[in-house]
Amino acid sequence: MIYRLVHWLGGWLLTLLFDLCFVVCLCCLTFVPFRTIPYSAFRQILTYERKWYGKVMLPIGGGVIVLTIFSVVALFQMIRRLTKGNKAKRSWRKARKAHAKNLHRKMTSVAPSSNSPPNSPKGKTTDKSSPKHQKRKKATSARAQQMDQSFSNAITQATSMLITMTYFLFVLVSKTALAPFNCVPTRPPSGHYFMADRPLEECFVAGRLQQRLAQPAWLFLIFYVAGFPLGIGWLFYKNRQIIKHDQLLRARMRGDTSFSSEYYQFRRRYSRLYYQFQPEYFYWILVLIARKFFICLIGVLFRSAPTFQLAFAIVIIFAAFVLQVYHEPYMDVKEAGEIVHKQTQQEILKLSRMLFMIRRLTKGTSDKIISLEERIEAETR
């Protein structure tokens, strides 16, 4: 349910481009109370510069919100478990005190045993191997494991949602970060350049809007537009064997629990980046990100030449289409069946080679080995 909501929000933001100015203007024209407020006040509050910062800060703001929500949920669960444990302890102490009082009343007439050592306190033991000490140790370790598990689940869910949100906002942030560099000349040419999004703002003039947004735009281009794909590439390169193994389990419809896969936590955190692709093409999301970025870049570089812009966009889309048709990276039911069939054949051939080497080294003609070889040959035909 959460992932569907994130998908819907991402598509909505990409469709409407989060244009707050349009929403405010619509409210001013529709609702009567807003007509009494001057439109210039809204223009002073919702300036182009503030909207630009709002758009490029969407992934960071969304990440902070997601981490805060899941941290609060994990903290609430931990406090709830601790309070439940304290309530159980209190009830157990009350019952134990009541039981001790009853025993004391019954044994008031009985003298203390002479076998007990005189220096040891009554009813207390300092032996760490006692059952009570072991029970307390197990309870504390179980409580610590529950706390670690709750925080680990919160980090896992927050990481998965943050990756999904960052991927869906990549086009919006890329276009917004490239906007300050989208300067066009005048017609007829006068030697001056103006911003395409703000035609009254001159470019390359100290103190103007384009120069104020140039340095933050470079930072977002380096750390987000280039850093996000580089981070994904580093993650894929470091964990390529884990990802391939996880996709092989996914083809067999396994690995959805911690009992069926040792990489269950890794799947929950990062599977949104590779779960759609075959094990050999787990990196294909980088191709999709590159296609989106180059289309955004062409819109900036060839703004004044629509013919070249359209031609290069068609070239990029056609190249991506050819690569996808040639490699077929996506994994559906048919591709999953082929992967399982191929993997099973490789395992059977490996076992048959092992049996052949065993027979060759032992120089034996056991009936069991011969029957196994015949069965393997029959299954591999």
> pLDDT tens digits for 187-222?
888 888 888 888 888 888 888 988 899 999 999 899
* pLDDT at residue 19, as a whole number: 47
Contacts of residue 154, Cβ cutoff 8 Å, sequence gap at least 6: 70, 71, 73, 74
* pLDDT at residue 75, as a whole number: 78
* pLDDT at residue 20, as a whole number: 43
* pLDDT at residue 88, as a whole number: 58
CA atoms within 13 A on the CB side of 283: 15
* pLDDT at residue 254, as a whole number: 87
> pLDDT tens digits for 295-336?
888 877 777 778 888 899 999 999 999 999 999 999 988 888
Q: Split the chain (381 residues) into runs of 10 and give each run's mean pLDDT.
A: 48 45 44 46 75 88 81 76 63 65 60 47 49 56 58 76 87 88 84 86 88 90 90 93 91 84 87 91 93 87 80 92 93 89 83 73 64 68 61
Q: Whole-model pTM? A: 0.67
